[in-house]
Amino acid sequence: MIDVALEPVQPHFARLVVAEGRLPRWAPALTAVVSLAAAGLAGLGLGWSPVAVVAGAAALHAVGVPAWSAVVENGRAAVDRLATSLVWVALAVALVPLVSLIRQVVALGAHQIDGEFLTWSMRNVVGSGGGIYHAVVGTVLITLATTAISVPVGLLAAIYLVEYGGGSRTASTLRFMVDVMTGIPSIVAGLFAYAVFALVLGPGIHLGIGGSVALSLLMVPIVVRSAEEMLRLVPVELREASYALGVPKWRTVVRVVLPAARAGILTGVTLAIARVVGETAPLLIIAGATDSVNTNLFGGQMESLPVFIYYSYTQPGLHPQYAQGHAWGAALVLITIVVLLNLAARTLGRLLALRVNRRR
């Protein structure tokens, strides 16, 4: 018997060494400076406005960085830098109207904010003086009533869709109706609420609770969608562990699923409130307007900040300079409320998420 010793064959793989250049980190900044300088020179020669100069500089920057990358790096890097440049340009375009709006409102409304403006109403006020206290009270009451109506309905609908409905025809129909309600114009919601109350109480009715009903038609779809998504994020293992212990389904939903999704649900509710607090059309139709403080949702017309802004600017009366100043001041207060609600939603979501993680 002949033994043949075979030496193991070591595979040879060719090393691929790709030596390509890379743009320095300061390349986008240098391109931005050069683009701004070129657009500025062109603007001086052609009489462009500052906005046109900035737009031209952004266009040059969006083209210049990818072109430089294509020469120094490679085609893939150039495409990546082109996409990055387009994203930054889109962000800048989106920020221009936002910053302009905030600047305009602050410039025209900040000097209106004082103790009298926040604590007085417009009852028997002609010309200067008065404030938005009656509108703030009406906005708070209408929003609280809207939340009291929308949150239980929206949350229960979301629980049905996730926990009980599944893929049934009823659940599919409900999801379709929620999608339809999401796109309903706000004025249609106001007309519907007015029609309902007019059938019961007679035509010409104006009530604060009617405004809450109209706004709830806009808020319920947002609550349903946000709560549904949060409930779907709860791991199935938590439900199965509860069922294995003999806990009934309704108790599992109340004691396991809802606490696990609490942070996201509260965040969605807060964002939904911020969405409807600035609606004007439904309140113009059903809630009406008044110069006095009204704390009874079921007793006559009730003022709100959006309606106060609308009438102060479009119907200033004999003293337009004072009325329009009140409108800008009320707009600043309304924007501040919306910003605070959004910040509260984010802060609340983070705090509850941290608490849940610590418990785990």
My answer on whether 73 and 200 are in the same domain is no
**Do the domain assignments include residue 13?**
no
Q: Which two tokens stand for residue 273?
A: 């409130």
CA distances from 278 to 136, 236, 272 (A): 12, 38, 11
Q: List pLDDT tens digits, range 200-239.
A: 888 888 999 999 999 999 999 999 999 999 999 998 898 8
Q: Which of 52, 76, 111 is the last residue of a domain?
A: 111
Neighbours of 1 (CB within 10 A): 2
**Do the domain assignments include residue 197?**
yes
Cα pseudo-dihedral 182, 271, 261, 226, rounded to 10: 10
What is the domain count for the chain?
A: 2
Least confidently predicted of 10-19, 27-36, 159-168, 176-185: 10-19
CATH number at residue 323: 1.10.3720.10
- C-alpha R_g of the chain: 30
My answer on whether 191 and 274 are in the same domain is yes
Residue 137: the pLDDT is 92
CA-wise closest residue to 218 among 190, 199, 176: 190
My answer on whether 128 and 244 are in the same domain is yes
**Do the domain assignments include residue 133?**
yes
Q: List pLDDT tens digits, range 229-268.
A: 999 999 889 889 989 988 898 899 999 999 888 888 888 8
**If DSSP codes are grouped into helix, strand and coil, which group holds residue 64?**
helix
**Do the domain assignments include residue 297?**
yes
Q: Which of 60, 86, 111 is the last residue of a domain?
A: 111
Between 342 and 227, where is the model more confident? 227
What is the band of 356 on the pLDDT scale with cuts at 50, 70, 90?
Answer: low
My answer on whether 91 and 181 are in the same domain is no
Domain that holds residue 191: 119-359
